[in-house]
Every structure is written in structure tokens, then in C-alpha cells.
Amino acid sequence: MSESGRIQSWAALPLELISGVIFFGHGMQKLADPARFGSVVLVPLHVPAFMSYLVTAGEFGGALLLLTGVLVRLGALGQSLVMIGAISMVHWPNGLLAQNGFQFPLMLLGVAIALLILGPDPVSIDRNVGLFSWTHEQRGFGRTKSAVIFGNIWVRATGAVLIGFGIMFPLFRLSLGIPSGPIALAFCVLIGLISVASGAGIASDRTWAYGPAFAISRLYLGGSVLLLFFFQYAVRGVIAFVVSFAILIAIGSAKFEDER
């Protein structure tokens, strides 16, 4: 990829995060009772009620894909289909700017189409974790597939930060807008364990730690946007965003050497 192309690819990041948090909110509403959404909204439009589950998957599932930077084009495709359906079957008769008009879904459709064209951003899991990278050249900010060495002191420092995040995440989950309950607790403990393990791997210069450390850091980045906009914890969200973005940049800049 040329230098200008790499710069332009950063345009996908704000589109993924902002569109992701919007669809997350709408998807959460439907996820609470998709059957009711189907009976109240879709059936009067002569759409089979079971389509509510596909709409929910397109919105909520697509939001998770965009926020985490996993299979970004697939998430954008699902959201574009949902918006085409919303415009054509619900909002079109109201016009562009009238109440309940189609200006908002049209804008989200434009974002989804842009992501289909741009693809994932440079700090997406798609581009940086081998399991999801479609070509070797995508891995590690465009470098060839190779052995990663966490030699830089700043890269090593991210390991300590990830360990701290992993310890604090389950303990302070309620302050982060995560609901109480055993399932939420188990999820937070799992994320914490992965964070601690990958952070320890980076601190001790273990090659295997690159993938899980990058993936968990991207999860923190997506979560920080939810914290900022969905849960409306502005200060916490901004701090979490800055720190997690810095971790992603540091891990992505780790030194790679060709495997021979």
C-alpha cells in the first residue's frame, strides 16, 4: 500500500467507531425483545416476523464487528442491508427531511458503503492479527509475516499497562457501565485474564503475545467509545480511548524480523 493509501485508510477508524456505537445502541434495544420488534414493526409492513432476528444481528452484531475491527466489511455489509430495508420500507414515504424521514438511515447507509470501499482501519484486528489478516502484508502495519520482538521500552511498558487493565477491569466493571450479574462478571474476568496473560507475554518478550495483546487492546478501544457515547462517561471514555489507542500504536510498532 502506498503512503497516501495508508493515510487514507485511517478514515475508516472514526467511521467504524461512530457508526458502531450508534448501531450498538439500536441493536441493544432490539436485542432485549426481537420478537416484539418483529410483531410491532415488521409484520404491519408485511415482512415476516423472523426477519427481526436478522435485523438485530445486522445492527448489534455488525456494531461489535466495527467496534473491534473484526471482519469490518462483513459488518458494514450487514448494516447497509438493514439501512436499505429501513429506508425503502419505513422512512421513504416521509421524505428526506420530514419527521421520521430517511436522512438518518441514509447517512448510516453512506457510512456503511464507505467502509465497504475503505475496508478495515490500520489498528483493526483485521489488519494486525494473523487469524484475520487476508494477506501477510497486512500484518503489523504492512510488514511481512515474521517473528515479533518487543525490544522497545515503550512496547514493553504496554505489557505492564495491560496487566493493570486486566486486574482493574473486573473490579471496577460497575463504574464502566457494565451491569451486575454472574454472566457479566464471568465475561469481565475472562477479558481480565487475557489482558494479564498477554501483557505478561509482552513484558517477557514472548512472540505469541502479539495477537492476543493487540486484540484485547482493540476491544478496550471499542469499549472506550461505548463508555464515552453510549454510557455517557465522558472523562473515563476519553482517558480509556487515549490509553488504549496508544497501546495499539505501541504494539503495532513492535519490531518484526523475517522468519527464515
pLDDT reported for residue 46: 84
Give backbone dihedrals phi and psi of 50, rounded to 5 degrees, phi first. Answer: -65, -20
Tens of pLDDT along the chain (260 residues) come to: 555 567 788 999 999 999 999 999 999 999 988 888 888 888 888 888 889 999 999 999 999 999 999 999 999 999 999 999 999 998 998 999 888 899 999 999 999 999 999 999 999 999 988 655 544 344 444 444 456 667 678 888 899 999 999 999 999 999 888 888 999 999 999 999 999 999 999 988 888 899 999 999 999 999 999 999 999 899 999 999 999 999 999 988 875 544 43
Distance between CA 199 and CA 204 in Å, rounded? 9
Distance between CA 200 and CA 164 in Å, rounded? 10
Q: Quick one: CA dihedral 111, 77, 41, 25, positive or negative? A: negative
Helix (H) or strand (E) holding 147: strand 146-149
**Domain locations in the chain?**
3-118, 125-258
Count Cβ atoms below 10 Å from residue 212 Cβ, excluding itself: 18
Give backbone dihedrals phi and psi of 147, rounded to 5 degrees, phi first. Answer: -85, 130
